[in-house]
């Protein structure tokens, strides 16, 4: 078991906001659990839950950004459209944590933001 010994007056590690956000962003990537990430960084799970609460209360959680989208005549993989209207009106969004959200293309922006936040936080 690895242990870190802190010498001097300061006996606790200090984490910057950027470091906390970086560590928190690892949860959910490739199936990593809170326990996995905590173990990897040699901290307790409670630290991660506490940091998550802190980031939410300070509104420091990464904001959703919208990118401009251009619709092409043919899919980029060289395939063809199926002609199925339910398929053509769908959008796929790949999130940083590896999850994919499939939604209706005409979904209101406020609902889209809520869905993305929920998918990234769980």
Residue-wise pLDDT for 49-82, tens only, equals 999 888 878 876 555 566 666 665 555 555 545 5
Q: Is residue 82 part of a domain?
A: yes
Q: Is residue 84 part of a domain?
A: yes
Q: What is the pTM of this model?
A: 0.45
Q: Give the tens place of pLDDT for each residue, 95-112.
A: 777 788 888 888 888 888
Domain range for residue 38?
A: 17-57
Percentage of residues in the chain having pLDDT higher than 70: 66
Stretch (H or E) spanning 34: helix 34-40
Last residue within a domain, chosen from 57, 79, 108: 57
* Whether 44 and 77 share a structural domain: no
Strands (E), the chain: 90-94, 100-104
* Whether 81 and 105 share a structural domain: yes
* Whether 69 and 86 share a structural domain: yes
How many structural domains compose the chain?
2
């Amino acid at each position: 078991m690895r242990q870190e010994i802190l010498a001097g007056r300061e006996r606790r590690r200090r984490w910057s906001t950027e470091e906390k956000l970086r560590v928190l962003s690892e949860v959910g990537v490739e199936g990593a659990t809170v326990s996995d990430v905590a173990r990897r960084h040699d901290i307790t799970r409670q630290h991660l839950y506490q940091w998550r609460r802190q980031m939410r209360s300070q509104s420091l959680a990464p904001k959703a950004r919208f990118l401009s989208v251009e619709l092409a005549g043919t899919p980029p993989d060289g395939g063809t459209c199926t002609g199925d209207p339910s398929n053509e009106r769908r959008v796929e969004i790949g999130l940083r944590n590896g999850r994919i959200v499939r939604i209706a293309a005409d979904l209101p922006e406020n609902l889209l933001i809520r869905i993305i936040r929920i998918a990234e936080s769980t």
